[in-house]
Structures are given as C-alpha cells and as structure tokens.
Structure 1
C-alpha cells in the first residue's frame, strides 16, 4: 500500500465522513490539523485529571498490598495477584503519559512522576522506556527503525522469509504463540530496564538504579515475608505474567495488521501516523482498560496531548482525514484482536516452502471487514 491510501477499498469498520471540496497541499496537512486541535484547547494540560487518576491508582496499589498481607498464605492470593497485575498496568499507563510529558508538560516534573509511576511502583525504567518508545513514535511500523516491530515477531512477509532457525519457527506459529508469549512481557520489561542501566544507555543512571533497587527490595521483601518460598515464587510468576499479558493485550490492537513501511520510506508525518495506527471503539470501560491507547491515531498525531483530551480530539481528526482523503481506521475490541492475530498468522505462513510472495499483504487493514 502506498502513502496515498485514498485509492484502496474501504473496510466496513472505517469511519467515513463526506470530504470537503477543497484539498490542502500535503506539506502543510499536519500544520492545519495541529492548528485546529490547538485552537480547541486540546493540547492544554489537565492537572486535576491526573491528580485524581494518580490518587486512585495509588490507593488501589495500597489496597492490593494491604490485602496481600492480611490474606497471608492462602489460595486467595491468586485473586490478589490478578488485581495487582491490573494495578501495575494502570501505573504503566501513567508512566507512559509522564514519558510523553502529558501530565505536567515539564521535562523535570514529568521525569520525577515517571520515576514514581514506573521505577518505584512497577520496576520499569522511565528513561529506557521513553527512549525506546520515542523511536517507535518517530517511525511507527517502519522496518529497521521501529523497535516494536523488530523483536521476536514478524510484521512483514520480508522479515518472515528472512527468519532462520528458532526465529523462523516462532515466526511460523506467531499467531498462536502471541498471547502465551505475552506472559513473559513483564519479565522482559524488567530485564530491558536493568540492561539499559548496566550498559549506560540512559542518563541519570544513579537515580534510576536506586529507584529500581528500591522497588525490587520492597516487592520481593513483602512477598517473601508473607508467603513461604514456593508460594512466593508462584505468586510472583502469576502476578508478573498477568501484568505482561495485560500490557501486551493493550498494545496488540494498535498497529498489528496496519501498514508496514519499508526502511527509508519518506511518507509524511501525518499519513505515517494515521495509516500505521488503528483505533478501538468503546466507552469509559474501554478507555480505562486501554489507558487511552484505544485512541491510538490521535495519540500518535499528538503524543503530548493529555489522555482525557484524546476522545475530544477524535471528531476533529476524523473530519480532517476525510477532507484530505486519508483513511481513518477504527474497529471494535474483538475485531481488533481478530485482525491483529490474523495478520500475524498470515505473515508467518511466508516461512513455509513455496509460499506466495505476493500474499498476504503486509497491511491487511485495508481489507478488514470485507
């Protein structure tokens, strides 16, 4: 699929708004949209939203660990592990917002909040995460540039065909392996955080290391003080596994199955962000469960926009995309997972001998729902 997607078939779930007759020159498309969003006040900070949101999540964390201590050595700790996994994910969403400077709009203040929400609360380095995530935002779904598509999964047929050995086997069955592999995502986040500090890949290594050590000491200390060794290890495995599964499940619908750009692609900023992203429909429950990432298109266009403003920005973005004839894709929760897993499975078939190089398309979003 080329950068100009107006000539492609429109899926059933794509939002269609009558196009305006006038066409803005491509080089200024994003500037026009940015001005509309800014004039609507949607880039303004929302401090009170984050005060109550942060307070609610902190209260939930305290309640979770209090319940853990009071329950003691019991099978009920399975429920505590699931609850704390969900709370950890909500902290990760707040750390995400701090990394984008959505909360305070200040480098120093948001970094300190990132240390609280990321390093101290859940043991994930805000410095490592911000660096890695910013590269993704700059080059979403771009081969050799987006770290999110250069990991253990293949998102394009070319990458699938290039797989060798164990990697090739994982690529072949990645549609089936995706959710089981997410159980290791929490461990991967901790490992990557520690590795970044040891290698010196981030600044402020001292404070990052100290806060990660403080988290590890507190987390491991309370678990092993309350539970015997084997149940403690089981609790950690379950809580961290469910945390990773939750986090990975919120990321899965965002880009998988949308357009994959080749290395060095020169598509302009607005089209690169919109064509590579998928929104997920829903109300308050979906917004909360996905941490606002269900408005992936708006988030990618305006990374520093406070989370509660994304919903309000959506109608403006939808209308403008229709005006400049750029497809805007949104679907339901179940459909988003079906498309993402379907894409991974279809791409994985390119590892088989004699696979047709012409199909499936690297981006199946253009045909979803047909």
Structure 2
C-alpha cells in the first residue's frame, strides 16, 4: 500500500465516525459499509458501559468525535508531510510492532495503532481488559475498506510472540516489568504522567469553565486530565469553584461519587485541610497524581522559578494548561483534543517506527 492509500483508508474511517454523536447521530448514504457497521457500532457505544463502568455513552461519543475530527485528509497530510521522504512505498521493510494498550479512557491506544499501520508495519495488539471492544471493531471497519489490512492487524489474548519492536503503555510498576521483559527489543515504554494548570488569577470565567473540561472529561482518568494546579500566593479559589459548578452533575455518577466519598474520607481522617465544593476536593500537595475527584494545588512565588520546576519535572508531566504563562502551554479546555502530531510523552512515534531497524 502506498502512503496515499493508507491515508485514504483512515479518512474513510473518519467519515464513518463523524456520523456518531450523543445528540444527533445521522446515518449518511455516502459512507462506505454503513450497511455492515453502522447499527452495530451504535449498539457497541451503548454497550461499552457494561464492559467498563467508566465508559459512559457521553465519554465514548466524545472520544469518537475527537478521532472523527482528527482523521481528515487535511490533518493526515499536515501530520505526515514532514516524513514523506522516509516512507517506504511497497512495505517491503515492514516490522511487526507489539502494542500493549492502556484502557483508562476510550480508544486511548488508537494513535499507536494508527501510527503502526500508516508507517506500513504490522500491528500485534494486546488490548487492556478495560477496553477490549472498540478498537477491534474499528479494525474490522478498516479491513472492510481495504482487505489488504487483514494481514496487518492481529489481536492476541495470551503471550506476545514473533514481533520486532514494542510500544507499551502502563503504570510505573508495569513499566519496570516491560523494561525488563522487552530489554532486547527496540521499544517505547510509557509510564504514569499527569497534567497541570498554571493560573495567575487573571483568568476569565470562560477560561476556568474550560479548565473544568480539562479536569472532569473522562472523570479525570486520562494522563491529559489536569490533576494539579499551580497558583500564586493568596490566590482566591472562589472564581474557580464558581466556574466549575456547571460540572456538578458528575457527582450523580455512582463510580465517581464513590471515589469522591472515599478519597474525601481518607483525607479528612488524615487531618488534611481541604477545599471542597461537594463534588471536587482541592488539597495542597507537591505531587502531580491526585486521586479521582480531587485536584492537588501548590503555590508559586514567581513564574520564572515555576518554569524551572516544570522543566525539571518534565518526565512526570503530559501537558500544561495556561494562558501562555509558561512555555508550550495548551489552551484551556483543549487537553483532551490532541492533534495527530501531539505525541504522548513527547516521544515521536512516527520517527521511532520509521528509523528503528
């Protein structure tokens, strides 16, 4: 398959996904293979919560929309244009890439899957037990669009065997296992990361409402969810709490509410001082990884020192949200809408796949 053919296949997938929306799913006559896949995919969206309690229809629809928006001809061209001279056109140098995927949010491993196929390699995939259905379904759709992909995609349940390189995502604990187990293979091993926001008190209500999206999307389970706030001395959290009140319905979801009650109780029994609005607790803490339903915060004295701190902690941070207060900031409300060229852990997957022997 040529690069243009590969891109066209994923553009068709983008058109298929574009039909599905929480508010107005519309079946379109010009989308390929709707007769085979449309109804079953809609059913799968609503069944996802029975497979993983955190995968509510709202969250799955959001993930689908994010990928539908990403998989356009324009985005794929922009993403891949810088590598065009490096791509092989006949796939004679293809590798088998083992993908060990996380399952914390819907389709979290799709970018790795896309990267492997778009570079002309084979994907040997071990899904997370928390997300075993969405990606295999989309793989079947891609194969229906181009049958030559059938030999490029394999899902495995047991031991991974006969592969050339590895991309594995897990916790800090599992990463140590991965690093030992795959020590003889070229690899990308991803560990725990969290995201932070830097505020200075001049944010608008709209900024802070958008920050709520960065905190509460996927119930805070993603590495791109903001779990830490850096605020100046004497910062008032009143505008923040007023702005995020629109997300109060999150407490009506049982799994989130259970985490809120449990984590709040643990904090209080430990005599920690908390700020609390009834569905989110704020705790002063130097760590980045806060539990579900809680966000840590820390005071800073000057932005230059904070920039140095963030650079030193770079391996713990996925992205930083601010109004350009620090380098390489992500705008408020955009953490869960990464572009194709926004690589997890800032490791360029395409370059890795194209240059690894």
Bigger proportion of residues as strand: 2
Using the size of structure 1 for normalisation, the TM-score is 0.23
Larger % of helix: which?
A: 1
Higher RCO (CA 8 Å, separation ≥ 6 residues): 1
